[in-house]
Amino acid sequence: GQSLEQPSEVTAVEGAIVQINCTYQTSGFYGLSWYQQHDGGAPTFLSYNALDGLEETGRFSSFLSRSDSYGYLLLQELQMKDSASYFCVGQENRDDKIIFGKGTRLHILP
């Protein structure tokens, strides 16, 4: 089976940079995604990595190292609106179900 581990909470300061890590244990691997969810809101897709390296989308970047079974989400120039839960999401094989990590709650201090 597949499991994804991420810290339960992270705290950072407005304007700073924060990294949210995700390690995974799978028998196969078909990509790592990240979703953001604000309190009371729906998860929204942020990024997807199939190959090693960095994917950048504005202030958010996602990194993957398949050899290390590790990825992270990098948020730059933090804004108060970035306070949310962030889920790494994996898939073992192409048509297997998608598995959500338990989520990391990001607290941003002014």
Partner 1 sequence: DAMVIQNPRYQVTQFGKPVTLSCSQTLNHNVMYWYQQKSSQAPKLLFHYYDKDFNNEADTPDNFQSRRPNTSFCFLDIRSPGLGDAAMYLCATSRDVQANQPQHFGDGTRLSIL
What separation in angstroms does the CA of 19 have from each of 41, 50, 58, 77, 95?
22, 19, 15, 12, 29
User: With respect to partner 1, which residue has the nearer C-beta, 8 or 110?
Assistant: 8
Task: Pick the binder of partner 1 from 2, 5, 21, 30 (CB under 8 A).
Answer: 30
Pairing of strands 104-109, 84-90: antiparallel
User: With respect to partner 1, which residue has the nearer C-beta, 81 or 97?
Assistant: 97
Task: Pick the binder of partner 1 from 13, 17, 54, 98 (CB under 8 A).
Answer: 98
Please name which of 12, 28, 19, 23 lies closest in space to residue 108, comparing C-alpha atoms.
Answer: 12
Cβ proximity of 67 and 52 under 8 Å: yes
Task: Pick the binder of partner 1 from 67, 80, 95, 110 (CB under 8 A).
Answer: 95
User: With respect to partner 1, which residue has the nearer C-beta, 15 or 28?
Assistant: 28
Task: Pick the binder of partner 1 from 11, 25, 44, 79 (CB under 8 A).
Answer: 44
SS3 80: helix
Question: 40: which residues sit within 8 A by CB, 6+ positions away?
Answer: none
Q: Which residues bind partner 1 (CB under 8 A)?
A: 30-33, 35, 41-45, 48, 50, 87, 89-91, 94-95, 97-98, 100-103, 105
